[in-house]
A and B are shown apart, each in its own frame.
Chain A
Amino acid sequence: MSARIKLRVRQALVGACLMSAAGIAGAEYGLNLRQGVTPIAQGAYSLHMLILWVCVAIGVVVFGAMFYSIINHRKSKGAVAAQFHESTAIEIVWTIIPFLILIGMAIPATKALIAMEDTSNSDISIKVTGYQWKWQYEYLGEDVGFFSTLSTPKAEIFNQEAKNEHYLLEVDNPVVVPIGKKVRLLITANDVIHAWWVPDLGMKKDAIPGFVNEMWFKIDRAGTYRGQCAELCGKDHGFMPIVVIAKEQADYDKWLAEQKQSASAASADSNRVFSKDELIARGEKVYTANCAACHQANGEGIPGTFKPLKGSPIATGPAADHLSRVLKGKDGTAMAAFGPQLSDADIAAVVTYERNSWGNNMGDVVQPTDVKAAR
């Protein structure tokens, strides 16, 4: 390569670097941090931009000096090495200047942090509980609560169908909140550590068993905001999304009233007597939503990790033991207690389904009233 071509290449490289630096600033290409829809997220975004530009500026100076030196102070150009070294004055200067820059960053960061951690004077409190692998939301003081699980069909995940626009970022029951209200989340977990994160809301918090963490957000505009569990929580960590729908206050009130109504309808099921076919049909749905992630749709589990139900001593043993295992779980394993998670009718249905599927042929039926008695 001639010297001129080398220079061209260098110019092109420098140009490419500058262009990519400019590109970083353009959020429209999906290159930058999302600006979000809450004051917290916007605060984080402007801090992010501040630090980014400070880094770019320092980078231009440092890399500028480095590349100037690489280009000009090379032996092939006849450069003769100077022998200067050690200068306490210079060392002090380049210790103090970065220190001052850091103070300049620390002040806005401290302000932002204090605002983020202030969960006082909230309008609504929602308790969020992480499970392997779903989220539970309970609206405190409203008697409304539900589980939220991934609704993307398995066929899309296994590439048998085209993936939809919200692939892996869609749930059966989204969280609904009013806009312009300070919503406080009380976050905990039931089994392992999870983390609740919706990028547009600007904050993530770990959901830790035995702890209740707090975070808050106030959403400016109505819309649907999507996020995911952010802390590795096992096999389906990538498959427990979060969907928040922010509505006008009136729409939110309407939604809340509907939720209360359907909750009371569900509790009526606790006293009904179901036919075996009804229970098995309902049980299959409950199984798919709650059990199949570990025990698999075919009931065979995953060897060494998750026990099979097909032909298992529990599922083909006394119904009372089977029911108790589903209600109370098993300590020290991934088998959670489903008593607090599912209704009497759902538990009755799923136990009946498990006892009469995949070649398990117990023929018996567990009714919601049995579940109520066993709780």
Chain B
Amino acid sequence: MDWHNFWLLLHLLTFVYWVGADLGVFYSARLVVNSKYSFETRLQVLKLLGWVDMIPRYMLLLTFPIGLTLSYLVNSGPQSIILLMVVFLVFFLWIFLVFKIHKEDGSLLGLRLVKFDLFFRLLFIILLFLLCLLSIIIKFPFNQEWLIIKIILFSCTIICGVGIRITFKPFIEAFKELSLHGSSANVEEKMKRSLNHAVPFVIGIWVFAGLAAFIGLSHERLF
């Protein structure tokens, strides 16, 4: 078995389940803000959306260590197995954190974990940009232009993810209000506005992830 092909398949599947599953999330969100539906239906659709949305969340995190392993196999990234193992461990812990946030949704612990996750993401974005800058200057830890571009594009998807989280915050608050006091023009407007604000970031993720996939597929021809 060729391990490079195996990791390439895994990398492809993370992209497939990230962008492909996002489609259902995007469409379902439109139904949640549809005031013609009862609160119960909107809640259940939100739960469905929440479940499906976990897949892109896990995939976004998984794609990095898998991509890093591929960069190790093609001598484009850091050549250390120990580093790879550490990165995998960190990302598995991070995936567990995301899983826990989903399970603890609404609880005090859940809110604390969300803050921790956000902090971690901001740190990760800064780290990735610094590593890319370093790679441009001294060709380390990444020694290929296409890979640096891919990582910058990947960082942009995480930025968009943070953007979604920020723009979607009023939606969550409005939905809580809806659950407590029922529908009102103000609440409905708040939810719709919040969703509309999140749309450019969602499209941003699709575009940046699509471009990263394009670079991955075409780097042998383009660079």
Say whether A and B bind each other. Answer: no
Please list the residues of chain B having a beta carbon within 8 angstroms of any beta carbon in chain A.
Answer: none
